[in-house]
Amino acid sequence: MDQVRLITEIRSVNHRFLDIVVRLPMGWLAFEEEMKRVVKKYVNRGRIDIFVTAEGKTTPERQVMVDWNLLDGYVQAAKQIQERYTSPEDQLHLSDLVRLPDIWLLTEGKWDQDLYHSLLMTSLKKACKALKEMREAEGQHLAQDLRRRVNRLIQIITEMELIAPSVTEQLEKRLYHKLDEWLQNNKEVADRILAEIAIFADRSDITEELIRLKSHVNQFCQCLQATEPVGRRLDFLIQEMNREINTIGSKSNHPEISRQVVDAKSELEKMKEQVQNIE
> How many angstroms separate the Cα of 205 from the Cα of each of 160, 176, 249, 251?
12, 17, 11, 7
Q: At what angle do helices 113-183 and 255-275 cross, to 10 degrees?
A: 170
CB atoms closer than 10 angstroms to residue 61: 10
The amino acid at residue 51 is: F
Residue 20 phi, psi (nearest 5): -110, 125
Please write the tens of the pLDDT for every residue from 82-121: 777 665 556 666 666 677 767 776 655 455 567 788 888 8
CA angle 105, 109, 112 (to 5 degrees): 150
Q: Longest Cα pair distance anywhere in the chain, in angstroms?
A: 128
What phi-psi label fits residue 56: left (phi over 0), alpha (psi between -120 and 50 degrees) or beta?
left
Q: Could you give the dihedral angle defined by the CA atoms of residues 234, 237, 239 and 243, in that order, rounded to the nearest 10 degrees? A: -160
Each residue's pLDDT, cut to its tens digit, for the chain (279 residues) gives: 456 678 889 988 877 788 899 998 877 888 889 999 999 988 888 888 999 888 765 555 666 777 778 778 877 877 777 777 665 556 666 666 677 767 776 655 455 567 788 888 888 999 999 988 888 888 888 888 888 888 889 888 888 888 877 776 776 677 667 766 666 666 556 566 666 666 666 666 788 888 899 999 999 888 888 878 888 888 899 999 999 999 888 877 778 888 888 899 988 988 888 887 777
R_g (Cα) of the chain, nearest Å: 38
Q: Nearest 5 degrees, angle CA 251-CA 257-CA 262?
A: 95
Q: Judging by DSSP bridges, how do beta strands 104-108 and 62-66 pair with one another?
A: antiparallel
Instruction: Answer whether 22's CB lies under 8 Å from 50's CB.
Output: yes
SS3 content of the chain, % helix, strand, coil (to 5): 65, 15, 20
Strands in the chain per DSSP E:
5-13, 18-23, 46-55, 62-66, 104-108
pTM metric for this prediction: 0.55
Q: What is the pairing mode between strands 18-23 and 46-55?
A: parallel
